[in-house]
Structure 1
Amino acid sequence: MSSLIGKEEIDIELNAPADKFFDMICNTPNQVSDASADNIQKCDAVNGDFGNNGVVLHWNYFHDGEPRVAKEAMEDIDRKNYSLSFRVFEGDLMKEFKSFILKLQSIPKSNQGEAGSIARWTFEYEKLHEGVAFPNSLLDFAKQVSKDVDSHLIQGV
């Protein structure tokens, strides 16, 4: 019997500084569509303000060849450690998952001023039933969006 509860993680090497990457994802997620237009069409704050705990974000994105939507609450913002969580509560993922939480930590490569950072995405979830397979393409999606944001930030630095 397989477990309904799972966790997947991916580390993505970035050239941008950890604080810049975190800042875009946390404080200006509406600009992610500028950086990764093939994947993210739009992000709006539905309830609250970008960069604040509890803000509800509505995403329009393109995944696995299909247009998709998600509503999620931004939680557990830790500006010192460049980490935050998104709790998905509505949209396409909720057709197969009882719960889905995306966690991001943007980790500086070095305290000695070494360029770059690592984006660590962690997906914690509970499937609705055992027939649901984890969509590994979500890890690739997070990697591609992160790389696009990284390129966007490096061009703007």
Structure 2
Amino acid sequence: MASPILAGKLEAEIKIKSDPDEFFQSFGGKAHKLPNLCSDKVHGVKVHQGDWKTKGSVKLWTYAIDGKVETLKERLTVDEENKTVTAEAVGGHILEQLKSYKASLQVIPKGQSNYAKWTIEYENINENEPAPTKYLHWLIHAGKDVDASLVKA
């Protein structure tokens, strides 16, 4: 008999046309600009503790997903060298649905193209819960909106 799977990992990759450094910074040290870059998804991002880039800083997000407004309190780690931003949930609506949630963005150059890779590591509260694919879809669409906004700028 197979044991129930409580934890998992979701991944997706999108091609980006904008400057890879600008895209990376939009989710890292300049996340306060996200409401202007994808306003239908991100309503606000505020520093709750620390600052915009320092490891361990905590931000409070207000965002729309599936027609509902949710909040997320996240602890952030920004790795400039590897162009990776990792956000671990420490509060908010997502932790009412999941035991743990960690989302990472890595901007990856591949030849003449650049890609944004999203990874979500999660643990469900119980085995009857589906994988949190709605959050992966949200990240993909927010990334595409940010990319399009940066290309226009």
Does the Cα contact within 8 Å between 1:98 and 1:127 map onto a contact in 2?
Answer: yes
Once the two structures are TM-superposed, the CA of residue 137 in structure 1 deviates from its matched residue by 2.0
Off by >3 Å, runs of 4+ in structure 1:
none
Instruction: Give the aligned partner of residue 80 of structure 2.
Output: 79
Alignment map for 1:4-153 (pairs within 5 Å): 4-75=6-77, 77-110=78-111, 114=112, 116-153=113-150
* Partner residue of 2:151 out of 126, 143, 154: 154
- AA aligned to 2:30 is T
Partners of 1:108 and 1:154 in 2: how far apart?
17
Gapped runs of 5+ residues in structure 2? none
Using structure 2 for the length normalisation, give the TM-score: 0.94
How far apart are 1:17 and its partner, in Å? 2.5
Amino acid at match of 2:11: E
Letter in 2 for 1:142: L
Q: Is the 8 A contact 2:27 2:85 kept in 1?
A: no
Task: Work out whether residues 87 and 101 of structure 1, in 8 Å CA contact, stay in contact via their aligned partners in 2.
Answer: yes
Tell me the matched-pair count.
151
Query: Gapped runs of 5+ residues in structure 1?
Result: none
Do the aligned partners of 2:13 and 2:117 also contact (CA within 8 Å) in 1? yes
1:102 Cα shift? 0.4
Quote the offset at 1:18 in angstroms.
1.8
- Is 1:17–1:108's contact at 8 Å kept on the other side of the alignment? no
**For the residues of structure 2 that align with 1:45 and 1:109, how far apart are their CA atoms?**
33
Q: How high is the TM-score relative to the length of structure 1?
A: 0.92
Question: What is the Cα-based RMSD across aligned positions, in Å?
Answer: 1.1
Query: In the alignment, is the contact (CA less than 8 A) between 2:47 and 2:59 conserved in 1?
Result: yes
Q: Displacement of 1:93 after TM fit?
A: 0.7
